[in-house]
């Protein structure tokens, strides 16, 4: 019998019967999309759960970010300061809006944008800062906002990894001018595919409504040039079902997080990212940093795990500024820490249904790998 493969993540799903029962009304109404009953209900429920004043659902996290940027009507060719240590979507969303990414280095301690290096990158063309709460690690919100206020810049957070995180008792999506979340199948909360933009200015809601629905505001009225980024009712219902179980899922994730921490904290050469003491943890991922003391490189360890049917991820490698589609196209900035982390970070298997035997195998492989 083939040995079981242990993947880096597994999609959270509600009980089969619960989802099937929940979608039955769609066969009566035949209302499958276009901001239906369940779309509206999920928006309201998520506003409450995430503790944000306004929220607009989207078909996926990428379109949430792309349209969030577009909603601010930045002049073409202007610049947004962002991090290269992120999923490629973050940079794509800037470039597809005909804006220029200016890459800022990150901190080795937690992988978030290095706020001490932002100000030196600001020019007369800078219009916004786009930081990423990478792995759910919260950026230095106060300092980023201070810089933004000083130079009259917008702050748009990529909070794709930060669902449910609170900072100083407030929902993480309530900071900045806007934040985006991803509800992709691999995220801690999913709608199969989906995303959302959170914000406080209701005018952004109206703008986003136009952008995600072709600009249609009536049977004979199209008032804006828009895309098609609406969430359908099947996805919204999956979100409503998963939201009922999210607290239980987070409890299970915490148990597995603590299990890993207890057994890996003293392994030389394996470093765990620092956590902000004023932010909650949503246990979305379990990244480890492989340092020289380990005795093998991250890539060597990656191969050892693969040989043992353990499918970890080099998340993120290479950094987005070094990808073929962006390399040497934008302002050259020293990105020493981002490149170093990209060669050291490995995200190991982690999800609420991950069995103890599988975790034991991952831990044993990590400990044996250095021998």
Residues 187 and 86 in one domain: yes
Across the 371 residues of the chain, what is the mean pLDDT of every consecutive 10-residue run? 85 98 98 97 98 98 98 98 98 98 98 98 98 98 98 98 98 98 98 97 95 94 95 98 98 98 95 96 98 96 96 97 92 92 98 97 88 63
- Judge whether 2 lies within some domain: no
Phi, psi (degrees; rounded to nearest 5) at 80: -125, 125
Residues 219 and 255 in one domain: no
Q: How many helices (H) and strands (E) does the chain have?
A: 11, 16
The boundaries of the domain holding residue 38 are: 16-240
* Backbone CA torsion sign across 328, 333, 335, 336: positive
Residues 171 and 291 in one domain: no
* CA gap 256, 250 in Å, rounded: 10
Residue 321: exposure state from Cβ atoms within 10 A (0-12, 13-18, ≥19)? buried
The predicted structure's pLDDT at residue 331: 78
Query: Whose CA is closest to 242, among 184, 285, 197, 283?
Result: 184
Residues 356 and 287 in one domain: yes
Give the total number of structural domains in the chain: 2
Last residue of a domain, one of 186, 210, 240: 240
Q: String of b and e for 157-191 (b: at least 16 CB within 10 Å)?
A: bbbbbbbbbbbeeebbbbbbbbbbbbbbbebbbbb
pLDDT in tens, 32-67: 999 999 999 999 999 999 999 999 999 999 999 999
Residues 223 and 322 in one domain: no
Residues 191 and 252 in one domain: no
Residues 321 and 269 in one domain: yes
Residues 80 and 181 in one domain: yes
- Judge whether 4 lies within some domain: no
* CA gap 95, 90 in Å, rounded: 9
- Judge whether 228 lies within some domain: yes
* CATH number of the CATH domain containing 296: 3.90.1150.10
Residues 138 and 231 in one domain: yes
- C-alpha gyration radius of the chain: 21
Q: pTM (2 decimals)?
A: 0.97
Residues 201 and 315 in one domain: no
Last residue of a domain, one of 240, 261, 276: 240
Residues 171 and 253 in one domain: no
- Judge whether 6 lies within some domain: no
The predicted structure's pLDDT at residue 25: 98
Give yes or no for a contact between 232 and 215, defined as CB atoms under 8 angstroms apart.
no
Residues 250 and 217 in one domain: no
Question: Angle CA(169)–CA(57)–CA(351) in degrees, nearest 5?
Answer: 65
The predicted structure's pLDDT at residue 40: 98
- Judge whether 231 lies within some domain: yes
Give yes or no for a contact between 341 and 111, defined as CB atoms under 8 angstroms apart.
yes
The token duo for 259 is 């299990």
* CATH number of the CATH domain containing 120: 3.40.640.10
Sequence-ordered alpha helix ranges (H) in the chain: 16-23, 25-29, 37-50, 61-70, 88-95, 141-151, 202-212, 233-264, 298-307, 336-344, 356-369
The predicted structure's pLDDT at residue 330: 87
The predicted structure's pLDDT at residue 333: 87
- Judge whether 10 lies within some domain: no
Phi, psi (degrees; rounded to nearest 5) at 74: -70, 140
Last residue of a domain, one of 240, 270, 303: 240
- Judge whether 278 lies within some domain: yes
- Judge whether 7 lies within some domain: no
């Amino acid at each position: 019998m083939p040995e079981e493969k242990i993947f880096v993540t597994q999609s959270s799903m509600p009980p089969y019967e619960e989802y099937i029962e929940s979608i039955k009304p769609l066969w009566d109404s035949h209302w499958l999309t276009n901001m239906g009953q369940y779309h509206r209900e999920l928006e309201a429920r998520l506003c409450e759960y995430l503790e944000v004043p306004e929220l607009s659902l989207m078909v996926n996290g990428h379109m949430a970010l792309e349209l969030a940027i577009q909603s601010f009507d930045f002049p073409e060719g202007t610049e947004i300061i962002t991090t290269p240590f992120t999923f490629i979507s973050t940079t794509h969303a800037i470039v597809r809006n005909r804006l220029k990414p200016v890459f800022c280095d990150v901190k080795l301690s937690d992988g978030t944008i290095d706020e001490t290096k932002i100000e030196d990158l600001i020019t007369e063309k800078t219009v916004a800062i786009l930081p990423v709460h990478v792995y759910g690690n919260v950026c230095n919100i106060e300092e980023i906002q201070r810089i933004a206020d000083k130079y009259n810049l917008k702050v748009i957070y990529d909070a794709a990894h930060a669902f449910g995180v609170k900072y100083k008792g407030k929902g993480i999506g309530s900071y900045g001018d806007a934040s985006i979340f991803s509800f992709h199948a691999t995220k801690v909360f999913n709608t199969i595919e989906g995303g959302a933009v959170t914000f406080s200015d209701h005018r952004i809601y109206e703008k986003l409504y136009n952008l995600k629905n072709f600009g249609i505001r009536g049977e004979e009225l199209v008032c804006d040039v828009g895309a098609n980024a609406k969430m359908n009712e099947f996805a919204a219902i999956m979100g409503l079902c998963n939201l009922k179980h999210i607290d239980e899922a987070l409890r299970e994730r915490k148990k597995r997080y603590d299990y890993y921490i207890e057994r890996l904290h003293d392994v030389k050469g394996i470093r765990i990212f620092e956590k902000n003491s004023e932010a909650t943890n949503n246990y979305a991922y379990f990244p480890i940093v492989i340092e020289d003391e380990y005795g093998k490189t991250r890539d060597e360890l990656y191969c050892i795990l693969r040989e043992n049917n353990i499918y970890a991820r080099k998340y993120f490698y290479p950094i987005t500024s070094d990808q073929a589609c962006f390399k040497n196209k934008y302002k050259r900035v020293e990105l020493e820490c981002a490149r170093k982390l990209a060669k050291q970070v490995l995200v190991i298997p982690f999800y609420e249904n991950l069995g103890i035997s599988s975790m034991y195998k991952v831990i044993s492989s990590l400990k044996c790998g250095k021998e």
